[in-house]
Amino acid sequence: MDSTKWISKKIALLGNHAVGKTSLISRFVENKFPEGYLTTIGLKVDKKTISVDGYNIDLVIWDIAGQENLANIPHYYLNGCSGYIYVVDLTRPSTYENLRSQTLLLKGILPEAEALLAGNKRDLLNEEELKIILEDFNIQPDELTSAKTGENVEELFLQLARKLIHQHESQGT
């Protein structure tokens, strides 16, 4: 008998405009990289089922239009969110210079949610530039990703899925 358990979790990708939220989802769900930038209006929802640690987990992924201030996101967009990925564009300081306040705000809105920080557009920086940015701005992304090359994209979502499974098991639901 198959002992694989099925769970479904809503997650959201958040962050400033043009950090690559839609591209990360597109790379993860369809293994495609959209050529050119197209701003997201409102929201787009995708779904992907992955198998990890004895679970089949349906990730229902909400791609929410980029916001400089997360307080502007309607709360019902985030209701029921079990986890989120906050995405920054490593090449643009404006997307991470207010990271601390945005993280605190999110913790207030979604106190129980699992969170990851993704430093995207890794492919646009060399090792030295990357080191300087991470040190100067004191940011510690959980994954350094490139939606363009696919680097660490799968790993990013897998890491969140594992956290969600842990959350699920500790809640006993």
CB of 36 to another protein, least distance (A): 3
Question: Distance (Å, rounded) from C-alpha 38 to C-alpha 31?
Answer: 18
Q: What is the 3-state secondary structure (H, E, C) of 62-128?
A: EEECCCCCHHHCCHHHHCCCCEEEEEEECCCHHHCCCHHHHHHHHHHHCCCCEEEEEEECHHHCCHH
Question: Distance (Å, rounded) from C-alpha 130 to C-alpha 134?
Answer: 6
Q: Which residues bind another protein (CB under 8 A)?
A: 8, 10, 17-18, 34-47, 60, 62, 65-66, 76, 79-80, 91-94, 124
Beta strand 143-144 with 83-89: parallel, antiparallel or unpaired?
A: unpaired
Question: Distance (Å, rounded) from C-alpha 130 to C-alpha 87?
Answer: 16
**Token output for 124:** 């646009």
Query: Which residues neighbour 59 within 8 Å (Cβ) at sequence distance 6 or greater?
Result: 9, 11, 47, 48, 49, 50, 157, 160, 161
CB of 156 to another protein, least distance (A): 19
**Token output for 122:** 């890794």
CB of 47 to another protein, least distance (A): 4
CB of 77 to another protein, least distance (A): 8
Nearer to another protein, 1 or 15 (CB): 15
CB of 60 to another protein, least distance (A): 5
